[in-house]
Amino acid sequence: MKHIKINGVAYEAVQATEEEILNNNLIIEPGEPCGRQECRYGYIWVYIDDLDIGGCKWYKTNAQCNE
């Protein structure tokens, strides 16, 4: 689990599984930069640089949003 800041507020986040990425249509085109945010099923998903793994990864946060 990580803590990710969205609009200055820290939220908990867990790395998304391949299944979650596909089910939520969070497909990334090759070369797309980090930093993307999407609202899916009431929660914010972020595509951020994972320094532990290297490269960008999708994370599901506990930040709520309206679709």
Q: Which domain holds residue 6?
A: 2-64
Q: How many domains is the chain partitioned into structurally? A: 1
54 DSSP assignment: S
pTM: 0.86
Q: What strand order describes the sheet that includes 37-40?
A: 2-6, 9-15, 56-64, 43-49, 37-40
Q: Is the per-residue pLDDT at 51 higher than 80?
A: no
Nearest Cα residue to 39 out of 25, 57, 49 = 25
Query: What pLDDT, in 10s, does the model give residues 15-29?
Result: 999 999 999 999 988
CB 48 within 8 A of CB 63: no
pLDDT at 55: 84
pLDDT bucket at 32, cuts 50 / 70 / 90: confident
